[in-house]
Chain A
Amino acid sequence: MVKFARVKMILGKDVKKGDHESLQTLFHSMERYRPITLLASAVEDAELRVVLQGLGVADLKLGDDMQKGQVKTIMTLFWYAERAKPIEIKHKAKAGKIIEIDMTLAPAAKPAA
């Protein structure tokens, strides 16, 4: 697993176990524009495992070719369809909680040369 990016974002709403949310609905727009420095390069459509610590997991496709060191945001990493993909919430959490988000390139996806 190649580490692709890591960011901390403030949860925008209360959630409980079993809810279905998404990056689009969990975080306010200002949070979705929080800068994220990429730790690896990857190509368009590479599959990323996105782990929202304590909340849930989603496998999302990258929206474009990206280079290590580029600064991106949730909005510029993923197309709307990916940002809106349902994430099943595993544990309850309150709005305002800081959520650590880890993104890794899925084993099948090869990092860009």
Chain B
Amino acid sequence: MELASINIVVRDADAALATYLKLIGTNNVSELIKLTGLKDDTETVDGYWLKTRPLNLAILTPRGDKGRMGQFHQKYGQGIHHMQLHLGQDEFEQTYERFNSLGWPVSRPSYFGKFSEAVFWLEESGPQGVPVKFATKAYHTLKMWPEVVYNDTPQRFEVVEIKEKIIRPRVDLKTPVVSVRDFEKQTQIWATLLSRPARMREGGERPPVDDRRGNQFIAQMFQFANTSKISVYHALNPEGSIRRTLSRYGRDSMYYDMIFHVQRDATHELWRQWEKAGFFMVDPKPLLNTGQGNGNYFFFIHPLSTHGVVCEFVSQWNFPENEEGEAYMVFDWSDSRVFMVNPDVNVKH
């Protein structure tokens, strides 16, 4: 099981595409696919699939307000609607059966004829409280075929040449953040859902994170082989924006933001580029996280300028290979250019 994409619902997919190309940089998008008339079991959507690393970004506009994304858009407006996980076909079929046996609400699988891909949804009404989509590339006929909705879809798809060149330093889309009220319960549910333990916990033996923007939170993270992560946050203070957003929408769980990792020696330059490009920067400059010896920069762009999505940026890091070691995070210098001390000094001998 691999985390594959974050999928946002927007009013105008073309306008949102322009925004996100301006944000990510065309050099950080390896391929852009335009999708017209992609149909599943409840609705038809149009939009774009941006191949970014390690997660792809889908920008989708539903036709109408009756399907999952249409209802979401009508109720909550623009924003992150779901994440998509990719599985081998055998695991896909097993996961579908597993969720069914747990009594979790799964949709009928849909088959996208033109790609020979199959998907099913773990519905928002499930214990996790947010929609999650599971997809496979079918290499043989589906075992659950009597339940499958077969669609000759999408109506059209094309790889679009990006003519405008917007060059940015390295920007990686890495993490969808799910904000929850009931932390212990949701930690169990996500571990079951993803068939893996939480890798790292903020809170517990470690003090809660203070983001210095009015939120104190604890978190669990679930890591994937492609270095992406799902973070489950529980904000402790009701007056902070994380909890207020949950309350405003009357929800117990929701996608709160998406986290990009950025090149450390270009963090301030990126911030300036985005401010100049008209993005609504939160705070006067990137904030150095001094909490618990963290040492990373992090900052936000307000959803008013990113089609309803809170975008968070952190300088590049990964989990250490040694889970038992003392290091909390490993800094990724692979795209940094300017040093006083070359990171190669740490190359293992």
Contacts and interface: CB of A to CB of B under 8 A. Distances in A.
Interface of A: 24, 29-30, 33, 62-64, 73, 75-81, 84
A24 B302 CA distance: 14
B234 to A, nearest CB: 20
B210 to A, nearest CB: 11
B212 A81 contact: yes
Contacts of A24: 214
A63 B271 CA distance: 14
Contacts of B214: 24, 80, 84
6 contacts: A33-B302, A33-B304, A64-B285, A79-B287, A80-B213, A80-B214
Given A29-B302, A30-B304, A33-B304, A76 B284 contact: yes
Contact of B283 (A30, A80, A84): A80
A29 B304 contact: yes
Query: Would you call the interface of chain B mostly helix, strand, loop, or mixed?
Result: mixed
Contacts of A62: 284
Nearest to A62: B284
Contacts of B213: 80
Contacts of B275: 76
Given A33-B280, A79-B212, A84-B214, A63 B285 contact: yes
- Most chain-A CB neighbours within 10 Å: which of B275, B284, B287, B304? B284
B189 interface: no
Contacts of B13: none
Interface string B264-284: 000000000001000011111
A79 B213 CA distance: 8
Contacts of A79: 212, 283-284, 287
A78 B280 contact: no
A75 B280 contact: yes
B46 to A, nearest CB: 28
A78 B284 CA distance: 6
Contacts of A64: 284-285
Contacts of A80: 212-214, 283
Contacts of A76: 275, 281, 283-284
A80 B210 CA distance: 12
A75 B305 CA distance: 13
B2 to A, nearest CB: 35
- The 5 tightest CB contacts between A and B, nearest first, are A63-B284, A64-B284, A80-B213, A64-B285, A33-B280
A22 to B, nearest CB: 11
Nearest to A66: B284
Contacts of A63: 283-285
Nearest to A77: B284
Contacts of B212: 79-81
- Most chain-B CB neighbours within 10 Å: which of A78, A79, A84? A79
